[in-house]
Structure 1
Amino acid sequence: MTLPSQYQKLTATQYSKNFRQAVQLQTVSLDMPTGEDILIKNKYAGVNAADVMMGAGQYLLPTPLPCDMGAEAVGEIVAIGDAVTGLAVGDTVLTNAIGCGYREYYTTNYRRAVQIPAATPEIMSLSIGGLTASIALHVTGEMKAGETVLVTAAAGGTGQFAVQLAKLAGCTVIGTCSSDEKADLLRSWGCDRPVNYKTENLRDVLKKEFPKGVDVVFESVGGELFDICVDHLARFGRLITLGFITEYKEQPDVVTGVRIYYKLLGKMASIRGFNLNLFWSKPQILSEHMMKLIGLLNEGKLHPSIDPTEFHGVASAIDAVEYLQSGKNSGKVIVRY
């Protein structure tokens, strides 16, 4: 394979919650890997809500300027250093790191790449979305068979896995979404009670149909939806907060109300934060959950949904991030190279 002398990547050069203003498309030289490094030609990159926070300098991990964008990708190894073992040119790998995604080529230490059977959007969607859902529900949320699980943004790239994994675990699943089409998609994954929040009031649905409350909440929207979920936790209920996309583009909401312990203490309920980045120091847990996810995928028990809107090339990642922020997507948003 003849490699180019240059390639394109997307880099944040100033902090802004307007992703388009934060980033620049750059053309840089392509250097060959040495030592333990491998050079990967990316095929697909995943789009995540946190991209906006990375570009704003407000992510959970530092993003000092200039900062390359995109945090997950799959591709093919096209060159290796002389100290690389266990991987070869032609192997397909998955990478998770700030800066690995929105670029045509990526160089990294071979130990930071995970070999995969094929570089497909479906396998890539497991890396952040699948792992987040699996670890958050089973480890952080301590989900058990027979419980009622509420998933917000249930038709999104992460919510889709939470719905399916909760059903596979023997739970009753409620999922929120923004259209009847997405509600139909949730039903196809086994969701017991899709709630289109544009035509139904979630608070009323929970009060009438689930009067004892919900045992586990998988929550990534924030704002008023977070408040509703807290109010409807069951005794010993656990709310897992993974993000708050409603506040990503604006300043944090100023909340004037009773403190949260008034709502939790009597029910012995809890709010549990989840940050996948903290599990990179626990490779055994990551490996266990990734192997389980790939096994479910191969068995036909897990059905990743890839949003049909196509984005091609590094520059299109800007449009893809804005599309995700608009809430129009169903399933994982992908940038293709």
Structure 2
Amino acid sequence: MSRTLLTRNGRGAIPLLRGRADALSGVRPVARRLVIDMSYSAHFMDFKASSIPSGMRKLVVSKLSPNFREAVSAQSVAVPTPGDADLLVRNRFAGINASDINYSAGRYDPSVKPPFDTGFEGIGEVVGLGLSASSRYTVGDTVAYFGSGAFAEYTVVPAKESVAVPAAKPEFLTLLVSGATAYIALKRLGDLAKGETVLVTAAAGGTGQFAVQFAKRAGCHVIGTCSSDEKAGFLKTIGCDRPINYTTEDLAKTLRSEYPRGVDVVYESVGGSVLEVAVNSLANKGRLIVIGFISGYQTASGIPAFRGATLPAKLLQKSASIRGFFLPHFISDYKEALGSMMQMLSQGKLVCEVDCGDSSEGGRFVGLESVFRAVDYMYAGKNLGKVVVEVAPTPVSNKL
């Protein structure tokens, strides 16, 4: 088989003589692979044999603000060129995360100044790649990735930070941040034991749904908070023993009356008054894992009010602990977590609920501009499962 290099305009292909080179090097020919050699090509041919456009749209943080609509704008830019070890990915789906507005507010790295790209996770097809990256991937492969710049039609992603997936389905996207957060946090910080009681707040959301399932797999009794009867019904289907609809039930009273001994582990993402209830509901030697505090993200400080003056005494009296979890600090656990979840998914042992906004006002989240609606939708608490935007429709083959 001959290796193919694309010409600068992307239209021609130059077959390379390889017989003599192979004989001299002793290297056996490998399976056919399209290689885009960036030293010769500045324009690409994608795997469907249609030219990649010269321009694209992406979302950029142009002003620091927790108001996503105020901070972010859509811009037209040139399609980026992948480096030697990079992939150029045509995004099909991008995930929405509560922390998108923390990022737009500049809270993660104050040294980073606008403009900068946004969006943490994407999935799509490889349409271009550097020469070194071609040792692992080829044009046409489907990959998912966890990194900045996913709110774009095309994104350059380091090959080593990409994950090969069977298809560009949003279910795989749910694992990258939401699933990995629940898996690693509970494994490393939860110390779950069979028979323990676990409380998951915002249990029907992107990461909560996974915390419920992983706690149940560990043999725990699982309580999950949610905001509607529909969500409570969903939670039962994924193993939640006691869904609590906090719009119709008082969370603190319900926990006191039904769980007087307290709860052993709390997977908490809401903050504020919910965090206070969680602290007061801990059992002796209880562990409270803080993975976020979404109730405060839209404020100027990003932190919800919390009455913690008596916190040291409460923890001491119960030999309890509060543990913070931030996914980038646990990257060494990421590969194992993702592999385990992918296996569970393939075996039908993991539910990855996706909400693409089909029932939202305005309909399904399609196109980059719908990211703004999707963020609003999630912060209104309307989502059931992981909120995902369809950046571009799946291409239809142009073959007759």
Structure 2: gaps of 5 or more residues: 1-49, 358-363, 393-400
Higher relative contact order (CA 8 A, sep 6+): 1
Identity %: 47
Q: Which deviates further from its counterpart, 245-254 or 43-52?
A: 245-254
CA distance in 1, matches of 2:163, 2:109: 23
Question: What residue identity is the alignment partner of 1:276?
Answer: L
SS at match of 1:195: strand
Q: Where in structure 1 do 4 or more consecutive aligned residues deviate above 6 Å? A: none
CA distance in 1, matches of 2:165, 2:220: 30
* Pick aligned residue for 1:222 from 271, 277, 296: 271
Q: Which deviates further from its counterpart, 244-253 or 185-194?
A: 244-253
* Pick aligned residue for 1:90 from 135, 140, 144: 140
C-alpha distance 255-175 of structure 1, shift in aligned 2 (>3 A): closer
Give how far 1:143 is off: 1.3
* Pick aligned residue for 1:314 from 356, 368, 373: 368
C-alpha distance 182-230 of structure 1, shift in aligned 2 (>3 A): same
C-alpha distance 308-10 of structure 1, shift in aligned 2 (>3 A): closer
CA distance in 2, matches of 1:11, 1:113: 22
1:300 corresponds in structure 2 to 348
* Pick aligned residue for 1:274 from 306, 313, 325: 325
1:149 corresponds in structure 2 to 198
Give how far 1:229 is off: 0.3
**Do 1:183 and 1:194's aligned partners in 2 also have CA atoms closer than 8 Å?**
yes
* Pick aligned residue for 2:175 from 101, 104, 126: 126
SS at match of 1:212: coil
Aligned residues: 333
Q: Which deviates further from its counterpart, 137-146 or 229-238?
A: 137-146
CA distance in 1, matches of 2:110, 2:87: 24
**Do 1:50 and 1:59's aligned partners in 2 also have CA atoms closer than 8 Å?**
no
Give how far 1:69 is off: 0.9
**Do 1:323 and 1:329's aligned partners in 2 also have CA atoms closer than 8 Å?**
yes
**Do 1:54 and 1:63's aligned partners in 2 also have CA atoms closer than 8 Å?**
no
Give how far 1:334 is off: 0.6
CA distance in 1, matches of 2:122, 2:53: 20
Pairing 1:96-175 to 2, within 5 Å after superposition: 96-99=146-149, 101-175=150-224
For residues 65-87 of structure 1, the C-alpha deviation after alignment (integer angstroms, 9 at most, x for no partner) is 11111000111100111222211
CA distance in 1, matches of 2:100, 2:365: 16
Question: What residue identity is the alignment partner of 2:137?
Answer: L
CA distance in 2, matches of 1:31, 1:257: 48
CA distance in 1, matches of 2:162, 2:181: 18
Q: Which deviates further from its counterpart, 19-28 or 251-260?
A: 251-260
Question: What residue identity is the alignment partner of 1:307?
Answer: D
CA distance in 2, matches of 1:13, 1:269: 43
CA distance in 2, matches of 1:108, 1:294: 21
SS at match of 2:92: strand
C-alpha distance 255-159 of structure 1, shift in aligned 2 (>3 A): closer
Q: Scaled by the length of structure 1, what TM-score is found?
A: 0.96
2:383 corresponds in structure 1 to 329
Structure 1: gaps of 5 or more residues: none
Q: Scaled by the length of structure 2, what TM-score is found?
A: 0.81
CA distance in 2, matches of 1:304, 1:227: 29
Give how far 1:256 is off: 5.0
- Larger Cα Rg: Structure 1 or Structure 2? 2
Give how far 1:61 is off: 7.9
Pairing 1:228-239 to 2, within 5 Å after superposition: 228-239=277-288
C-alpha distance 210-160 of structure 1, shift in aligned 2 (>3 A): same
Give how far 1:195 is off: 0.3
CA distance in 2, matches of 1:45, 1:119: 11
CA distance in 2, matches of 1:160, 1:314: 26
Give how far 1:175 is off: 0.2
Question: What residue identity is the alignment partner of 1:294?
Answer: M
Across the aligned residues of Structure 1 and Structure 2, the Cα RMSD in angstroms comes to 1.4
2:339 corresponds in structure 1 to 291
SS at match of 2:73: strand
Pairing 1:44-55 to 2, within 5 Å after superposition: 44-55=93-104
C-alpha distance 12-198 of structure 1, shift in aligned 2 (>3 A): same
1:37 corresponds in structure 2 to 86
Give how far 1:279 is off: 1.6
